[in-house]
Amino acid sequence: MSNDTYQEFEEQRRKKAENFKLNIRDDGDYPDAPPVSEPEEISSYSGEDVKDQIARESKKSLKRRNKEKKRELRARNRRNRRIFRIAWWVAVVLIGVMLGLYSVTGVNDLLAINRMDDSSVTVSIPKNPTVDTVTDALYRSGVIKEPGYFKLYAFITKSNTFAQGDYEMTRNMDYQAIISNLEGNQARTDIVEVTLFEGMNVYEIADKLEEENAISSKDEFLKLCNSDKFDNDFDFLKAIENSDERYFKLEGYLYPDKYKFYVNEDPASVIYTLLNNYEKRMYEKQAFDGYDKLYSVNKMIEEKGNVYTLDEIMTIASIIQAEAADTTDMYYVSSILHNRLEAEKYLGVSKLGLDSTKYYPYRSKDKLPAGTDAKTYKSRYDTYDSEGLPPGPICSPGMEAIKAALNPYSSSYFFFCHDKNGNPYYASTIYEHEANLEAIK
């Protein structure tokens, strides 16, 4: 290319460039065109900045959302609290109304305000009663109208010492009167009358009481009759020193008499009744043959010089009761026992040889427990084997036998026997006695 041609070409390119710039300026004359800004400088760190920016925006967005959620939660909690308060107050009012009604009806029943019926009714309390069973019996009998309130009252007042039995009550009694009647025996109507005969031993007394439904447990009765439970209440029992040798410590002290007991009464209560009666009888003044003055049993023992203790007198009296045919015979049998007990040993009568002691604590051979060999059975009370009195009484003597033991007839007899009709035969020597035995065959 020549130099002139090249210059011409450059001149044309310059003119085109100028025209192009002019057109661009003309475009800026439009009113809505946005201003043209200079392009930002692009560096090598621009990508990291964008990421940071996005992260910041995300955190801000998350915070906004959390705040919105918290606001919603607070608003919801406020609504829930309002609803709970309303429900709580409604429940309180309802419970208050219910408790008020319950208290009013309960207090009315407690004070018998709503029970104006004064008719009598018999309430039967079952065996081994509890507050529940007692409450049920009272409710069914119409004595109370609010079982729950009665149970609450019994719990608060610690009233739980109820006893089985039939109680006569009225339907207008307040709770305290009801409980007082149930914890005592004044209102009981289930009474049995039992006659304990003179000469009955502990086994026979237990059988009789059980037969008449006077004790709740025969086994417990027998167990108590050989215990020390009553010693602190009765000096005559505390004075016994050979309890371990006896079959029943209380033998001889369960006074024979007519008694009234409650049905299925506690055995200890029955025994207390018997022992109290015995003690009372021992202090009652009696008329003794040959004495102008009246004496109690204890005073007569002193009058006789305390030759025998009360326990020994009771043992002699029990033998008299078991052996004698009638009242007169009692005094002769007593004289024979005293004569033998006080005789010189060389006379050979120190062993009393009494049939009534041979099988004690059983009445006779046929009363031995099943399976017992009568030939080998040995009683600790057998006076054929041992000298003097047995360890204790063999039955419960009556007052006439006790008086005979204290004040025997004066005689020279050492032996006695009876025929099949109960007629007595007395002898001073063994030969006379053997003749009597031969005669009554």
| pLDDT per position as a tens digit, 317-360 | 999 999 999 999 999 999 999 999 999 888 889 999 999 999 99
- If one compares 112 and 248, the residue with the highest pLDDT of the two is 248
Flag whether pLDDT at 211 surpasses 70: yes
CA dist list (Å): 253 to 189, 244, 288, 295: 28, 17, 21, 20
Considering only residues 59 and 395, tell me which one the structure prediction assigns the higher pLDDT.
395
- Per-domain boundaries in the chain: 74-189, 190-276, 306-441
Q: How far apart (Å, rounded) are the C-alpha atoms in residues 158 and 180?
A: 12
On whether the CB atoms of residues 298 and 306 are closer than 8 A, the answer is: no
| Alpha carbon distance, N-terminus to C-terminus of the chain | 191
Q: Are 241 and 249 in contact (CB under 8 A)?
A: no
Rounded to the nearest integer, the mean pLDDT of the chain is 86
Mean predicted confidence (pLDDT) in 189-212: 97
pLDDT in tens, 144-161: 988 988 999 989 988 888
Stretch 10-26: mean pLDDT? 59
Instruction: Give DSSP secondary structure letters for 245-306.
Output: G-S-TTTT-S--SEEEEETTB-HHHHHHHHHHHHHHHHHS-B--TT-SS-B-HHHHHHHTTS
Q: In the chain, how many H helices and how many E strands? A: 14, 6
pLDDT tens profile 57-113: 777 777 777 777 777 777 777 766 666 666 656 555 555 544 454 456 667 777 767
Domains 74-189 and 190-276 share a fold: yes
**Class assignment of domain 190-276?**
alpha beta
**How far are the Cα atoms of 131, 204, 254 from residue 197, in angstroms, in the given order?**
39, 10, 10
pLDDT on residue 30: 47
CATH topology of domain 74-189: Dna Ligase; domain 1 (3.30.1490)
CA distance 227 to 247: 10
The predicted model gives 189-198 an average pLDDT of 95
**For the chain, percent of residues with pLDDT exceeding 70:** 81
Q: Give the lowest-confidence range in 71-85, 213-227, 229-243.
A: 71-85
Which is it for the CA torsion 294, 299, 303, 309, positive or negative?
positive
Per-residue pLDDT, averaged over 214-222, amounts to 96
Residue 408: per-residue pLDDT = 97
> In which region does residue 8 sit, left (phi positive, over 0), alpha (psi from -120 to 50) or beta (all else)?
alpha
Query: Which among 250, 379, 396 is positioned nearest to 319, based on CA atoms?
Result: 396
Confidence bin at 416 (pLDDT 50/70/90) = very high
Residue-wise pLDDT for 281-301, tens only, equals 999 999 999 999 999 999 999
Q: Is it the case that residue 10 has pLDDT exceeding 80?
A: no
pLDDT attached to residue 184: 78
- Name beta bridge partners: 191: 262
Residue 385 has pLDDT above 50, yes or no: yes
**How large is the angle between the packed helices 327-342 and 399-406, nearest 10 degrees?**
40
Task: Over range 231-247, report the average pLDDT.
Answer: 96
Residue 33 clears pLDDT 60, i.e. is over it? no
